[in-house]
Amino acid sequence: MLLDVGGLRVTAGGREVVHGASLTVARGEALGLVGESGSGKTLTCRAILGVLPGACAVASGSIDFDGVDLTTLDARGWRELRSTRVGAVFQDPASYLNPSLPVGRQLGEVLRVKGGLSRREARARVLELFAAVGLRRPEVVRRQIPSQLSGGMQQRVMIAIAIACDPDLLIADEPTSALDVKTQAEIVALLRSLRARFGLSLLFVSHDLAVVSELCDRIAVFRHGEIVETAPTAELLSAPQHAYTRSLLAAGAPGGLVHAVA
């Protein structure tokens, strides 16, 4: 198993908000996390990345990544993990990009500092990666600063940065939620093609069950800090076991979910 989280408990301001979450992601697999706002999806992802907000902490549980218990890592170990083995994309790409630096330079720096490429190698790789994430005219885009790009393009840049060092796992927390429906579909299609092309394992968070269904092999349903149900996507959609999953399905019908089941 690539990622194996067992009995994870997370506190926020001293109050427990994730109550013993267990989940696994096999190599090459995509696991979706769904559930209402505040149900603990983001803090679970941040615990796995070692980037919990200040007021939050892992109280107990295990986070095994490729045989290593991440809860034993020091700050340097976490940084190494994030720079090479686990990539992350969040809802608001603009807040993770430097507003005054051309995006090509930002990706180039990641490739040089974390990937060990020379300046020249990095420049060539920037163009390849920007093309791989579907940015047209990468030689123009690389010179632009974030505000010159649309939200969808900014998210493509973030995805390029996240996959720059060939991570084993990509954690995508609501990466499409701030985008319009058309761009959302394009980013989902991109993530699907990157999975196929690079064999990426994916932990994908969304409050939108239809989006998760299109991308993920299995789905875990969060409610009030607990995972109430985990099942293969087709099974979860056709025979949901938990009343809350049924209510999520009912809320999403008929549009996207019917399409997703078909």
Ligand X SMILES: Nc1ncnc2c1ncn2[C@@H]1O[C@H](COP(=O)(O)OP(=O)(O)OP(=O)(O)O)[C@@H](O)[C@H]1O
Binding site for ligand X (CB under 6 A): 12-13, 17, 35, 37-43, 53, 55-56, 207, 222
Quick one: which of 219, 218, 200 has its CA closest to 85?
200
Which CB sits closer to ligand X, 17 or 70? 17
Which CB sits closer to ligand X, 40 or 104? 40
Which CB sits closer to ligand X, 12 or 261? 12
CB of 59 to ligand X, least distance (A): 13
Which CB sits closer to ligand X, 106 or 245? 245
Contact 219, 236 (CB under 8 A): yes
CB of 249 to ligand X, least distance (A): 18
CB of 207 to ligand X, least distance (A): 5
CB of 24 to ligand X, least distance (A): 19
CB of 169 to ligand X, least distance (A): 18
Residues 83, 111: Cα–Cα separation, whole Å: 10
Read off the DSSP letter of residue 70: G
Which CB sits closer to ligand X, 13 or 232? 13
Contact 18, 225 (CB under 8 A): yes
Query: Is the preceding omega at residue 240 within 30 degrees of 0, hence cis?
Result: no
Query: Would you call 72 exposed, middle or buried from its count of C-beta atoms within 10 A (0-12, 13-18, 19+)?
Result: exposed
